[in-house]
Structure 1
Amino acid sequence: MLTTSNPDNVHHVLSTNFSNYPKGPKFRRIFKILGNGLFNSDFDEWRKIRGLAQGFVNHKQFHRFMAKINHDFLENKLVPVLDNASQQNLVVDLQDVFQRLMLDATCITATSYNPNSLCFGFPEVPFLKALDDAGRTQIKVAVNKANKLHIFTEEELNKLVYLHGALYETLRLFPPAPLQVRTCIHPDTLPSGHKVNSKMKIVFSAYAMGRMTSVWGNDCLEFKPQRWITEKGGIKHVPSHKFLAFSACLGKESAITRIKSVAAVILHNYHVQVMEGQLVTPKASIVLHMKNGLRVRIKNTWP
């Protein structure tokens, strides 16, 4: 096994010599719960599925549909749950809330089925547990709105550049997929000079890469949303082989919009108090989670 955080090696494996580095059959067995879709496929099958998915996510109707889904889920699912938590003075696991929200929204988008996992009482969700079992092998925003509940439109979200920078900075330091694994088919030499063969696995550490001075500078351990903002107030482009949070993800823009919309509605409408005394530590999983969640108390900003 070769573990690397060298961006040149990542670019070589994921782009330049892509056909020599599939995910491999073991990866598919581990994540068989996700079926034979884009996440689990390789080679011609991957290209075919990606082509179909690309046409789907680039369609104007898809964007309108996603905007409606986002608004509906915020207004009819997230806000009622948070309002109830505020009224009842409950302590909730914010990580669990986000996971349930994403599960429901993703299922509706992909299958038209709503598992209704985000609701009062937070019922047990077998699918989330199955995904978790498989995985084991200062944001601030200034808004000028009336003192009332507000759900942001996509146009409004596009103006929240600092929030966008804060999102990217969070994903740089805490990538959802901290490790990515590829197998090797034919012997090869990586740009770093390391030789690999068909018996080796190549592991990319996005978590380590986000903390490398050679990639991000001497302030790489600091949380600085402004590092993503250009002098003209736009978002800086960083190649995917240096910023692996989305890699070649087709749903990147939709995901960013959804995350920003959730963050904006919480920041504008609620005070979030993180409970003292809890140990916040990573969980051993293919997806980067907090081992014990994040317990918070929610209070409405507006009476």
Structure 2
Amino acid sequence: MASLTPSLQDLLVSSLMILLVLLYIAYWRSKYQSLFPVDWPIVGLLPTLVANLHRLHDKITEYLAASGHSFTGNGPAASNMRLFVTCDPDNVRHIFTTNHDNYPKGHEFAEIFDIMAGAFFTMDGELYRRQRAKTHSILSDPRMVASMASSCADKVRDGLLPLLTSMASTRTPFELQDLATRLMFDVTAMPVFGVDPGRLSPDMPSMHVSAAMDTIMEVGLFRHTVPPSCWKAMRRLKIGPERKLAAAHAALHVFVSEMMEKARKQEAAPSSMSMDVLSSYINDPDYVGLLHSILITYMVAGRDTVGTTLPWFFYNLAMNPRVVSGIREELAHNIATSTCNGDGAPVMFSPEDTKSLVYLHAALFETLRLYPPGWIERKTVVADDVMPSGHEVRAGDAVLISIYSMGRMESLWGEDCRVYRPERWLYDSRGGRKMRHVPSHKFLSFNSGPRMCPGKNIAVMQMKIIAAAVVWNFDLEVVEGQAVVPKLSCLLQMKNGVMVKVKKRAV
């Protein structure tokens, strides 16, 4: 047989090399595709995200762990979107503090949450700084702090505890997330409007307004993940998620108008509220035309933070009885100063009672570490920059910070990072146990830098009042056979809630 010509030999060698490379790629993908996101031509990361929607939070966590806490990718070609996804604390500090002005929320973020347009949640720059100063002056006013503490304690004493007592007598299962949401809807609305909307009551009135707030966060995630041209077209045509969102916007505006009218009628009557948010804005000329957006923002901020955390907190306690025992042991030292409604009635703990409870504080922060209410943050790059991790970002890029993933990184929290263990937040000192300081760029549940949550202390106070009363007076049992997982939303709510039974504790 004649020898092969050089050109044919080259062709065969090249073909063999290509075949080997293809086989290697096929093998590599079969073995490692679960570890790294595939950035496809034309469609970018979209197919990878869609294929993993059923476990999106944990899939992003796996990608970040495998890639060293950060990776880049692209959106669909038509969107011209470049993404930088991270949970690296050094990058977070750079984005939120060191080079804060280069990473605003951006115009697209304000468009995504257009129901709150013009309010501090969507603002950047000088407009944000002015509104933050106003918000800080309101939330730091002793009268407002007292009003918020009073409204929370009153609702727990007169609403939550009697309702749980009634449910304990029948041992009928109930959905915990719905109950927590009702509670925090009322607890938030009372100091915002000076009026109790009464959503937490035995007859369980309609929660369509609260459901509208959930819709904002669910459709918000949809808007984050598709090209703006796509959801804007759907908005114009009033189809898909945008049709549902339009109805939610209408419901919220009607609710705000109704509450403002109730507040106006109540002005002449004696009120238990010494101060409310509405009265702080209604006569301020700087906020004419923005009042609805601002009041909705306060409602979202108050209801969503605590209302999303409490179900996860009580779920974790039900799964970890030793933590319940630790909280009760700590509460026992404060029982002498607590109050009750009469013989055999549930015990209440005041904000002063719970202020020094470090183990309860640690249990709440451990919940926030694993289940942050706002599980992802979005920023926009103004000018080209290099991250501490070495990744380059360009002007116009979207930056996504996975707070959920940050709490699940072994390199940050240890090999037991997925274990619910409040003790990781504590250390022993001569004066007893104290809370360990964890920098906000590592624990981002209350944001960081110039955008640190101004209502952090109030939220912690509310959670402590509620948690102490429930843990001391009742035992919660999770009904078996449930899959308790996060739903697809900008909020880390439970997809199907969680069914529980409650039993009155003998103390």
Amino acid at match of 1:278: Q
Partner of 2:493: 289
Partner of 1:28: 110
C-alpha separation in 1, matches of 2:115 and 2:195: 17
Partner of 1:265: 469
Amino acid at match of 2:437: H
Matching residue within 477, 483, 487 for 1:279: 483
Partner of 2:393: 196
Shift of 1:188: 1.2
* 1:89-144 C-alpha deviation (Å, 9 max, x unpaired): 32211111111111111111222232221112322322221222222223421233
C-alpha separation in 1, matches of 2:184 and 2:456: 14
Shift of 1:219: 2.5
For the structure 1 residues 102 and 35, does the alpha-carbon distance in structure 2 shift closer, same or farther, using more than 3 Å as the test? farther
Shift of 1:302: 4.5
3-state SS of 1:3 partner: strand
Amino acid at match of 1:297: K
Amino acid at match of 2:201: C
Amino acid at match of 2:176: L
C-alpha separation in 2, matches of 1:64 and 1:130: 29
Partner of 1:130: 212
Partner of 1:236: 436
Shift of 1:41: 1.4
Matching residue within 438, 456, 466 for 1:252: 456
Identity of aligned residues (%): 36
Partner of 1:46: 128
Partner of 1:298: 502
Q: Which moved more, 1:193-202 or 1:215-224?
A: 215-224
Structure with more relative contact order (C-alpha pairs < 8 Å, separation 6 or more): 1
Partner of 2:100: 18
Contact 1:282 1:291 in 2 (8 A): yes
C-alpha separation in 2, matches of 1:241 and 1:223: 21
Contact 1:148 1:302 in 2 (8 A): no
Amino acid at match of 1:244: L
Amino acid at match of 1:163: L
Contact 2:351 2:464 in 1 (8 A): no
C-alpha separation in 2, matches of 1:12 and 1:122: 46
Q: Which moved more, 1:152-161 or 1:175-184?
A: 152-161
C-alpha separation in 2, matches of 1:82 and 1:36: 40
Amino acid at match of 1:183: T
Amino acid at match of 2:392: K
Contact 1:149 1:302 in 2 (8 A): no
Shift of 1:263: 1.1
1:100 aligns with 2:304: no
Partner of 2:384: 187
C-alpha separation in 2, matches of 1:167 and 1:111: 28
C-alpha separation in 1, matches of 2:163 and 2:116: 28
C-alpha separation in 2, matches of 1:101 and 1:201: 36
Shift of 1:29: 2.5
C-alpha separation in 1, matches of 2:419 and 2:158: 37
TM-score by length of 1: 0.94
Q: Which moved more, 1:80-89 or 1:224-233?
A: 80-89
Contact 1:12 1:191 in 2 (8 A): yes
For the structure 1 residues 27 and 283, does the alpha-carbon distance in structure 2 shift closer, same or farther, using more than 3 Å as the test? same
Partner of 1:62: 144
Q: Which moved more, 1:207-216 or 1:248-257?
A: 207-216
Amino acid at match of 1:99: T
Amino acid at match of 1:43: G
TM-score by length of 2: 0.57
Report how many residues are paired.
303
Amino acid at match of 1:162: Y
Matching residue within 406, 409, 413 for 1:209: 406
Alignment RMSD: 1.7
Partner of 1:171: 368
Shift of 1:278: 1.4
**Bigger fraction of residues in helix:** 2
Partner of 1:117: 199
**Rg larger in 1 or in 2?**
2
* 4+ residue segments displaced more than 6 Å: none
Q: Where do 5+ consecutive residues of structure 2 fail to align?
A: 1-82, 223-319, 337-343
For the structure 1 residues 126 and 31, does the alpha-carbon distance in structure 2 shift closer, same or farther, using more than 3 Å as the test? farther
C-alpha separation in 1, matches of 2:145 and 2:135: 13
Shift of 1:218: 2.6
C-alpha separation in 1, matches of 2:154 and 2:476: 22
C-alpha separation in 1, matches of 2:183 and 2:115: 20
Q: Where do 5+ consecutive residues of structure 1 fail to align?
A: none
